[in-house]
Chains A and B, each alone.
Chain A
């Protein structure tokens, strides 16, 4: 009897594991040697990365192209403000409330949106997000259409802020940024780790099969509907957490900003598409390119948006799998390998 074995690791992934660990340690220690503006930039990069990873999970792996992710960012943000202002919660634990609130509205959203396919699904999710924006703009206690701020008392003695002040010898405002940064780092690592774990399980296989061909997936026993629900709800929860965290750091909210389709969905799609949809590496590369472009072109007003659009179109035409897709195709490089390679048995004498 020939024994076959299955491998997923590659030489590159072993190197990634070592370099990745070093990078994570460097990022944890970043507040020791970086200034406040770097910390704020890194916070922006990390939170956009989280949004991008979840949109990628939804669209790149689940085949669910949503333009309504701002519903979960906004709902998460408002849940945090509600928890702090109305229930007197501390903002840090209130972030969990953000995830739960997003999850709760994701259930009726999915119920309606899953009746639609393709482009109709995309538009449907956008419309539903608008409905939530209009509803929350009616909530006068949370500032109505003009929005509101987190009370000073709540932001001043947030959990961990005092500890960070003593530990790093910084002012309260800087300590708050560092706290937000560390939470964003934690969320980003948990997101990447969680998605990578998911893709390497049996469910990850099913997800890829549903993405490639839903009818064929059903014919081999995959519960396609359950996979879609799972991906949609997971993405909503993660996006809600990110939304809560982003607005905890901003400490000021308005419906138009929290439910902005440009900030929380269009930019996120841009990141995933130019980086490489359907890969974990893609959004990481994409967010770095996006940040670089934003820093370079920030002074050019509407030309900035025009250039983003032109670049996105160019990449879609030249490299439909994104920049990471191009790199990975040319070099065979995979930093987060999920491919199961069959080895051993008769394959040793066969493979060309």
Chain B
């Protein structure tokens, strides 16, 4: 059964069509990678799925329910968690408090109920040692980990990761991949936008290519990477 289904979803900013009639399904428990050149509309697609943006046309179903007109806040409560491409921590709050907001509001529980769960997420994302540090003082890697941790604190069934490996060193990247693999192994469905292709392909089971807002390919990662369109459009190689 598919946990997420997009049907002919379109979004324009003025005259620019950023998402052009996108349709695809994500089966429960799958990890889907999204690639495409800069400006292809990847982050916009995420914002449409999370509800931070409203679709102009088409429909989005999550878990069998039509969520096209449901707010970002409610979609979070339904089980959609996300990280932002540019980390958006609550800067004046500590790392632990960042998770606490997500856990108490994203799951509608009291602080006491989520305390241990937040600590467990901090352990899992290797952020425990920074628990009491204000988020504004974190390094880039730590900010990215916080994005992941905060999304996890809402206990999502669908986790959207937006370029979470970008700008990291190879060592940092490997550690992050392992964390994401662990999360995926728990049964969380993942959709991951990434330019760091080896990071992406080491986790995902399916790959989607986006160009000028259009889905131009979806399928097995090896086949997609070997396809002529991807080489031409995404890698800029004239085949």
Contacts and interface: CB of A to CB of B under 8 A. Distances in A.
Interface of A: 2-6, 202, 205-206, 208-209, 211-213, 215-224, 278, 339-342, 345-347, 350-352
A346 B123 contact: yes
Given A4-B116, A215-B88, A220 B76 contact: yes
Interface stretch (B36-44, B90-98, B173-181, B206-214): B90-98
B101 A339 contact: no
A-side interface mostly:
mixed
B93 A212 contact: yes
Interface centre among A213, A341, A342, A345 (most CB of B within 10 A): A342
A80 B113 CA distance: 45
A208 B97 contact: yes
Given A216-B88, A219-B82, A347-B128, A205 B123 contact: no
Contacts of B151: 220
A342 B132 CA distance: 7
A195 to B, nearest CB: 17
B101 A213 contact: no
By Cβ-Cβ distance, the 6 closest A-B pairs, closest first, are A221-B106, A220-B102, A212-B90, A216-B88, A221-B76, A221-B105
B101 A205 contact: yes
A220 B78 CA distance: 11
A291 to B, nearest CB: 29
Interface in B83-129: 84, 88-94, 96-98, 100-102, 104-108, 110-111, 115-116, 118-119, 122-123, 128-129
Nearest to A278: B92
15 contacts: A4-B116, A208-B90, A208-B93, A212-B89, A216-B90, A218-B71, A218-B73, A219-B52, A219-B73, A220-B101, A221-B77, A339-B94, A341-B96, A342-B119, A345-B119
Contact of A223 (B73, B92, B98, B129): B73
A202 B104 contact: yes
Nearest to A208: B93
Contact of A347 (B97, B100, B111, B131): B131
A351 B104 contact: no
Given A205-B97, A340-B96, A351-B129, A217 B111 contact: no
Contacts, number: 120
B101 to A, nearest CB: 4
A224 B71 CA distance: 11
Interface string B42-76: 00000000101000000000000000000111001
Nearest to A202: B104
B132 A351 contact: yes
A216 B110 CA distance: 20
Contact of A208 (B88, B92, B102, B132): B92
Nearest to B91: A212
A212 B154 CA distance: 18
Nearest to B134: A339
Contacts of B104: 202, 205-206
Contacts of B150: 220
A351 B119 CA distance: 14
A212 B92 contact: yes
Interface centre among B90, B106, B108, B110 (most CB of A within 10 A): B90
Contact of A209 (B50, B84, B101, B110): B101
A6 B97 CA distance: 11
Contacts of A278: 92
Contacts of A352: 129
B151 to A, nearest CB: 8
Given A209-B90, A213-B90, A221 B116 contact: no
Given A202-B110, A212-B90, A217 B101 contact: yes
Nearest to B129: A350
Contacts of B84: 216, 219
Contacts of A206: 101, 104-105
A339 B92 CA distance: 10
A218 B129 contact: no
A208 B96 CA distance: 13
Contacts of B128: 346-347, 350
Nearest to A220: B102
